[in-house]
Amino acid sequence: MLGDRLSSIAVAVEDPYDPRNAAAIVRTAEAVGLAEVHAISRDSVLEARKTARGAATWIDRHHHSSLDDFLRVVRQRGMRVVGACVEEEMTTMLADVPVDQPLCLLVGNEREGLSAAAREGSDLLFRIPMYGMVESLNVSVATAVALFDLSQRRRRWLGQVGDLEDEERADRRISWYAQSLDERLVAGLVATLQAAKRSL
Task: Map out the domains of the chain as residue ranges.
Answer: 2-164, 167-199
Which comes out higher in pLDDT, residue 130 or 78? 78
Average pLDDT over the chain, rounded to whole? Answer: 86
Give the count of alpha carbons within 13 A of 157, CB side only. 15
Q: Kindly list the strands in the beta sheet with 9-14, ordered across the sheet, starting from the edge strand earlier in the chain.
A: 60-64, 36-40, 9-14, 103-107, 80-84, 124-127, 92-93
Other residues' Cβ atoms within 10 Å of the Cβ of residue 163 = 18
CATH code that applies to domain 2-164: 3.40.1280.10
Model confidence pLDDT, tens digit, residues 135-188: 778 899 999 999 999 999 999 999 999 999 988 888 888 888 777 776 676 667
pTM of the model: 0.83
Predicted pLDDT of residue 128: 92
Which comes out higher in pLDDT, residue 44 or 65? 65
Model confidence pLDDT, tens digit, residues 105-123: 999 988 888 999 999 999 9
Whether residue 87 is predicted with pLDDT greater than 80 in this model: the reply is no
Helix or strand or coil: residue 110? Answer: coil
Predicted pLDDT of residue 53: 54
- What residues contact 108, with CB distance under 8 A and at least 6 apart? 13, 14, 15, 83, 84, 85, 114, 115, 118, 139
